Amino acid sequence: MPTYEEEYNSLIESTKQYLMQQADLFGNIIYTEEQKQAAPQGLKFSSVYPDEAWTRSASLDEQNGQICNCLKCGLGQTRTNFVFGVGNPNADVMFIGEAPGADEDAQGIPFVGRAGQLLTKIIEAVQMKRDDVYICNILKCRPPNNRDPEPAEMETCTPYLYKQIEIIKPKFIICLGRISAQWILKTNSSLGGMRGKVHDFHGIKLIVTYHPAALLRNPNWKYDTWEDMKMFKRLYDEMKA
pLDDT grade for 4, boundaries at 50, 70 and 90: low
pLDDT for the residue 51: 93
In the CATH hierarchy, which fold is given to the domain comprising 31-240? Uracil-DNA Glycosylase, subunit E (3.40.470)
pLDDT for the residue 207: 98
pLDDT grade for 159, boundaries at 50, 70 and 90: very high
Enumerate the β-bridge partners of residue 95: 135, 174
d(CA 93, CA 236): 9
d(CA 207, CA 175): 6
pLDDT for the residue 191: 95
| Residue type at 200 in one-letter notation | D
pTM for the model: 0.85
pLDDT (average), residues 56-78? 97
d(CA 155, CA 112): 25
pLDDT (average), residues 136-156? 96
pLDDT for the residue 7: 57
pLDDT for the residue 47: 75
Instruction: Give per-residue pLDDT as tens, 7-65.
Output: 555 555 555 554 454 455 555 555 555 544 555 555 567 777 999 999 999 999 999 99
Instruction: Give per-residue pLDDT as tens, 85-129.
Output: 999 999 999 999 999 999 999 999 999 999 999 999 999 999 999
What residue segments make up the domains of the chain, in order of their start?
Answer: 31-240
pLDDT for the residue 151: 95
pLDDT (average), residues 128-142? 98
pLDDT (average), residues 135-152? 96
pLDDT at 220 over 90: yes
Q: What is the 3-state secondary structure (H, E, C) of the chain?
A: CCCHHHHHHHHHHHHHHHHHHHHHHCCCCCCCHHHHHHCCCCCCCHHHCCCCHHHHCCCHHHHHHHHCCCCCCCHHHHCCCCCCCEECCCCCEEEEECCCCHHHHHHCCCCCCHHHHHHHHHHHHCCCCHHHCEEEECCCCCCHHHCCCCHHHHHHHHHHHHHHHHHHCCCEEEEECHHHHHHHHCCCCCHHHHCCCCEEECCEEEEEECCHHHHHHCHHHHHHHHHHHHHHHHHHHHHHC
pLDDT for the residue 160: 97
CA distances from 228 to 67, 94, 148, 176, 195 (A): 33, 15, 24, 11, 7
| Residue type at 73 in one-letter notation | C
pLDDT (average), residues 142-164? 96
pLDDT for the residue 46: 76
pLDDT grade for 241, boundaries at 50, 70 and 90: confident
Instruction: Give per-residue pLDDT as tens, 170-198.
Output: 999 999 999 999 999 999 999 999 999 99
d(CA 134, CA 169): 11
Instruction: Give per-residue pLDDT as tens, 223-234.
Output: 999 999 999 999
